[in-house]
Copies of this chain bind each other. A is one copy, B any other.
């Protein structure tokens, strides 16, 4: 109920999802509005769970946790907590989603801060996991090291990268670049420990798209700026191209002939195709969709949640965080016993 156009894309996306794949969806929200949108349609694997309140986009994140306890978002997290659902999806207030993740679901064992991530398309037809893109504006070096471990678990299980290539986002490739934060994270990740991933040092903003890295970690402030710069750049460039085409009749014909290529490109780069940004590091599987998600985006978000649950990303994260602990918590050395004479 919390998305910009709710509940239309949510209901249509859920109907399409249960129609295409063997999964169950519980639509949580105002029953009358949900039924109105369903307009008589039903499916044996689609249920409705009534909730009287809605978290608005401008509600403080704490509202979902403290006052609107019968909000559709909060009820989703309660269902997950009781094991009645295995994943939560919403196109609503992402700050409130984060708050519910932290205070209703709680963090996975050993996780310092959850992170929201996105997968950027790469020119070689694959993807690069970028996190955090908004959950934590200010983080510690240990948080970036944990993001590297969590992102790698995801890249291995969902993107099929056997030994993910990991980097810290910075303003240059040399280890001397970056900030105090990134240099300390670099030092932690470069330790010669047994790692499930290959640490490749720093990546620059442009490197994300060219297939040399599978996971790039950063703080949520910088990650959010980078994500939105990418979205803005793509939209701006195509707006400019359209205006240049509209001045040239031959180019208009050209654009018509290129339509299938443009559509294929759109499928490669549109966020709709990825189905939202997962929140990594809390006990529930949480998928945060854009506020203005289409029914297709919601459907793909549901598929992403299904894949996430099915491939066991959660236990893999718990395991990886435990095994990589020496990266951010160096073993305390017992004082040396010296026999001197």
Q: Does A251 contact B (CB under 8 A)?
A: yes
Instruction: Report the Cα distance A134→B220, complex, angstroms.
Output: 19
Asked if A179 meets B221 with Cβ closer than 8 Å, knowing A227-B205, A251-B257, A251-B261, the reply is: yes
A265 partner, pick from B222, B230, B233, B244, beta carbons under 8 A: B244
CA distance A206 to B227 in the complex (A): 8
Contacting residues of chain A (210-234) with chain B, CB-CB under 8 angstroms: 210, 218, 220-222, 224-234
Q: Is the CB of B229 within 8 A of A208?
A: yes
Contact A171 B221 (CB under 8 A): yes
Instruction: Chain B residues near A244: list those with CB within 8 A.
Output: 261-262, 264-265, 268
Indicate with 1 or 0, residue by residue over A96-131, a CB within 8 angstroms of chain B CB atoms.
000000000000000000000000011100000000
Taking a contact as CB atoms under 8 Å apart, the answer to whether A236 and B179 are in contact is: no
Q: Is the CB of B255 within 8 A of A232?
A: no
Copies held by the complex: 2
Q: A323 at the A/B interface (Cβ < 8 Å)?
A: no
Instruction: Write the nearest CB–CB distance from A223 to chain B, whole angstroms.
Output: 8
- Cross-chain contact of A232 among B207, B227, B236, B261 (Cβ < 8 A): B207
Asked whether B179 lies within 8 Å of A205 as measured between CB atoms, the reply is no
A228 to chain B, nearest CB (A): 3
CA–CA, A222 and B262, complex, Å: 31
Name the residue on B nearest A122 (C-beta).
Answer: B236
Please name all residues of chain B whose beta carbon is closer than 8 Å to the beta carbon of A322 when the two chains form the complex: none
A178 touches B260 (CB 8 A): no
Query: A328 contacts the other chain (Cβ, under 8 Å)?
Result: no
- In the complex, which residues of chain B have a beta carbon less than 8 angstroms from the beta carbon of A239? 123
Decide yes or no whether A269 CB sits under 8 A from chain B: yes
CB within 8 Å of B: which residues of A?
Answer: 121-123, 134, 137-138, 169-172, 177-180, 182, 204-210, 218, 220-222, 224-237, 239-241, 243-245, 247-248, 250-251, 253-262, 264-265, 268-269
